[in-house]
Amino acid sequence: MQALRLARPRVSLRTGVRTVTAAANSSAAHAAPQTTTAASAIPLSNVEAQWERLSSEEQLAVHQQLEEVQKRDWKMLSIDEKKAAYYVAFGPHGPRKPTTPPGGSLKIALGTLGLIGLTGAIFATIRATAPPPPRTINKEWEEAANQRAIENKMDPLSGPSSEGYTGKGFVTHK
């Protein structure tokens, strides 16, 4: 593992970007003797609408153009240049792209309500088809269990057969 780390060349991200930028600039300069570059071909007036359709090289060129524009006095920048700089820096693209599409929250809410309704329907169905409760779960049976506990002197220290007992005993129904 250590040998792999040593054998791999170390290039910082900035150096890699400079290399790609320099290669793009030199290939553009050699390919066509034009006075305009790719950055000046892309207007900054509507970067928000064009950003997704731009290639990565064009996005890099726009980013570099905006870096140069931002070095000037901010009071001299146009509204379009300020909007473009803000969108490129903080826009909903790349890592800040929304994870759910528009209308996704409504779909999630309706799905959740549907599942809750389905669960309620299943519960009601099971409850309706369940057998009746056992005959031992009623007030008369519990009172009879109290009388039997007194007769058998069950729990003589603190239970129903103790002196002065005022509790309910086994009765849980009203």
Report the distance separating Cα 12 and Cα 167, nearest Å.
Answer: 79
6 pLDDT above the threshold of 60 = no
pLDDT at 13: 42
- Helix-helix angle 79-90:56-70, to 10 degrees: 120
User: Looking at residues 92-103, what average pLDDT do you find?
Assistant: 77
Each residue of 22-48: pLDDT tens digit?
A: 544 444 444 444 334 444 557 778 888
109 vs 133, higher pLDDT:
109
Each residue of 57-80: pLDDT tens digit?
A: 888 888 888 888 889 888 888 888
Each residue of 118-159: pLDDT tens digit?
A: 999 999 999 999 999 888 888 899 889 989 998 998 888 888
17 pLDDT above the threshold of 50 = no
Identify which of 122, 126, 142, 123 has the alpha carbon closest to the alpha carbon of residue 134. Answer: 142
pLDDT at 24: 45
